[in-house]
Amino acid sequence: MTEWEYQPSPDIDETMSEHLRNFPRQPYMFMYAIRSIAAILLRGWMRVYHRMRIDGRSNLPATGSYILVCNHTSHLDTLCMLCSVPLRQIHRTFPAAAADYFFSSLPRSAVSAILINALPFDRKVKGAESLTVCSELLKNEGNVLIIFPEGTRTTTGEMGRFRSGIGRLVVGTDLPVVPCYLDGGTTAWPKGKAFPRPRKLSLRIGKPKRYSHLGKSSESVIAICADLQDAVAELGRSPQ
Amino acid sequence: MTYEAALQSEVFLTYLKIIGGLLVFAGVMITILRVSGKNVSGVWNTYRGWLVMVPIVIGTIFLGRTAIIAGVALLAIFGFKEFARATGLYNDWWMTGLVYLGIVLLGVASYVPDPRLGYEGWYGFFMALPAFVIGAILLVPIFRNRAQGQLQQIALAIVGFMYFGWMFSHLGFLANTTYAYGYILYLIFAVEINDIAAFTCGKLFGKHKLLEKISPNKTIEGSVGAIIISLGIPWLLWFSFPHFEPWHLVATGLIVGVGGQLGDLVISYIKRDIGIKDMGAVIKGHGGILDRVDSMIFVAPIFFHAIRWIHGIREVPVS
């Protein structure tokens, strides 16, 4: 008789907090169940409480991996973006979240990892390493990465400069990048307030952009960032 | 069993005092060892684990029958999850899901009243469940139209359900017995003491290896010492089951002393075959859930059925 082959889960020696912080995560049935229920509740809440409106959903690529970029006005942005992707893709949609904030304590990590499915992004020390994790993730078909290229929430309401990370991630690949603009985040949940207010939110999804024609150079990175920033700003200016 | 009943129960309150006293005593001993310059970091971690686990267990028993049955079902689910993750069965969501469902049904069977007799806990359903769950597990490959590797999957799922689910859930069913406080508290207390005794006796007197190929750290001296201590414990805790005759106490001690160590060895060879050290890392200083409840899984059904055969689970014996 040949022996059975066991495949112990690679994270078998990890404690609970390590499970939540490490990435990529193993597929946990409980996590998926809770996340699915949370996603459905979230969609209901956004529709009712924030009267959320999403335009241009048909612009989302039906197959393959893609990146969603959006202006960052409040925590509602992530939630809103999560509502824009089809429900069956919810477990393969990863909002890049600042590791120093969203994974700083056990309860926060639990919410970020289980409910939001966040990808812990180190924006301070190991930025390049986190970008490698992102590009590995996007190599698998059907993953969605949500990125806020400004890197932090705006306090003024004005959109900030796009950081180079998104450019470095996309340059030299054929990944579609979908620009989005969220209107109303600043008034609905101002930075520093504990709870969101019942203000209207409107998300506009633009046409996907590809940058495979650009060579792999630092000029291309700057050009991609500028182009995406323009695309997002353009969506913000377009009439309702 | 309710929290009011727990406060009225002599047995519950006595155990509270004994366990509290032992924890304080152990804490003082470790502190003394530490002050005298011994390295106690390993023991200290284990002790801190106990400080968290003991209040949870006592609190669950205090809350009563519902909490105990739910608690045992949760432990069984997370225990099985560790097994599934260790063997790789976890990637098979149908199998894993069915076993989870089976364990939930075991909890339901322990909780609902018997529809014909009206007693709390549907014994017939509890005992019949393995047939249904195993049947369902066996059907999964048929619905998937897949043969490759399926024998391993169903075998792992059935072992997982029967051992970590069904056998362990007998502990929850004990909450329906007349002497629930005495039985459950004695069982948990005695099984843990047996574990600690085996470890301590092994450390102090251990020379001859017990079963080197399964668990290299266990010794014959530790094992014998634990059995002797386990044989003594029921006499000290006779108040938990005042209707027991002396030979019942001997039998109870043997069940815990021998069964507990067998349960430990079962998990040991499973881990050794898979090639891992611990089943998980949920409890700091103890490893996974299965590393903690391994002995109980084996002891609970034997103790339960011994009680049932000798006294019945509800009848108050006439002495």
Give per-residue pLDDT as tens, B252-292: 999 999 999 999 999 999 998 988 888 877 777 677 888 88
Closest-CA residue of chain A to B155 = A4
For residue B313 the two structure tokens come to 């689970």
Q: Are residues B273 and B169 in the same domain?
A: no
Residues of B whose CB is below 8 A from A14: 281
> Which residues of chain B are under the pLDDT cut of 50?
317-319
With an 8 Å Cβ cutoff, is B87 touching chain A? yes
Same domain, yes or no: B233 and B187: yes
Same domain, B101 and B139: yes
Element (H, E) at B268: helix B246-274
A8, B86: Cβ pair inside 8 Å?
Answer: yes
Assess if residue B216 is contained within a domain. yes
Say whether A60 sits in a helix, a strand or coil. Answer: coil
- B291 and B215, same structural domain? yes
Q: Which two tokens stand for residue B170?
A: 């007998």
* Contact at CB, A6 and B274, closer than 8 angstroms: yes
The beta-carbon neighbor of B281 closest among A13, A26, A29 is A13
Same domain, B299 and B211: yes
- Between the alpha carbon of residue A101 and those of residues A82, A111, B53, the distances in Å are 19, 12, 31
Range of the domain at B113: 68-176
B88 contacts chain A (CB < 8 A): yes
Q: What is the rounded radius of gyration, in angstroms, for the C-alpha atoms of chain A?
A: 18
Instruction: Report pLDDT for B133.
Output: 96
Q: How far apart are CA A60 and CA B7, in angstroms?
A: 61
Residues of B in contact with A5 (CB under 8 A): 88
Same-domain status, B172 and B232: no
Residue B318: per-residue pLDDT = 44
Do B192 and B116 reside in the same domain of the chain?
no
Q: Which residues contact A9 (CB under 8 A, 6 or more apart)?
A: A26, B85, B86, B88, B90
Interface test with B, best of A5, A9, A17, A19 (most B CBs within 10 A): A9
Q: Answer yes or no: do B59 and B75 share one domain.
A: no
| Contact (CB<8Å) B85/A4 | no
**Percentages (nearest 5) of helix, strand, coil residues in chain A:** 45, 15, 45
Contacts for A232 with CB less than 8 Å, ≥ 6 apart:
A69, A70, A71, A159, A179, A180, A181, A206
Q: What share of chain B is helix, strand, coil (3-state, %, to 5)?
A: 75, 5, 20
Would you say residue B118 lies in a domain? yes
Cβ-Cβ contacts under 8 Å, B276 against chain A: 8, 12
| pLDDT at residue A239 in the model | 64
Among B63, B82, B112, the domain-final residue is B63
Is residue B221 situated within a structural domain? yes
My answer on whether B186 and B286 are in the same domain is yes
Look at the block and give the residue holding tokens 């790789």: B88
DSSP state of A164: T
Indicate if B259 and B158 belong to the same structural domain: no
Closest CA to A197 of A207, A215, A184: A184
Question: Does residue B38 form part of some domain?
Answer: yes
pLDDT tens-place values along chain A, 240 residues long: 778 888 888 877 777 777 788 888 877 888 889 999 999 999 999 889 888 888 888 888 888 899 999 988 888 888 888 998 888 888 999 998 888 888 888 888 888 888 888 888 887 777 777 888 888 888 888 899 998 888 777 777 677 788 888 888 888 888 899 999 988 877 888 777 788 888 888 888 988 988 888 878 888 888 888 888 888 888 888 765
Specify the pLDDT at position B315: 63
User: Domain segments of chain A: what residues?
Assistant: 26-187+196-237
The verdict on B187 and B307 lying in the same domain is: yes
Report the residue of B87, B95, B286, B289 to disrupt the A interface, i.e. the one with the largest count of A CBs within 10 Å: B87
**B187 plus B289 within the same structural domain:** yes
For the domain bounded by A26-187+196-237, which CATH number is listed?
A: 3.40.1130.10
Look at residue B319 in the predicted model and tell me its pLDDT.
Answer: 44
Taking CA–CA distances from A18, the nearest residue in chain B reads: B281
- Chain A contact present for B48, CB below 8 A: no
Nearest-Cα distance to chain A for B206, in Å, is: 29
For chain B, the domain total comes to 3
Residue B82 belongs to some domain of the structure: yes
Which pair of structure tokens corresponds to residue A189?
A: 């949940």
Residue B319 counted as domain residue: no
B151 — contact with chain A (CB < 8 Å)?
no
Which residue from B88, B279, B281 is facing A6, i.e. has the nearest CB?
B88
A13 to chain B, any CB pair closer than 8 A? The answer is yes
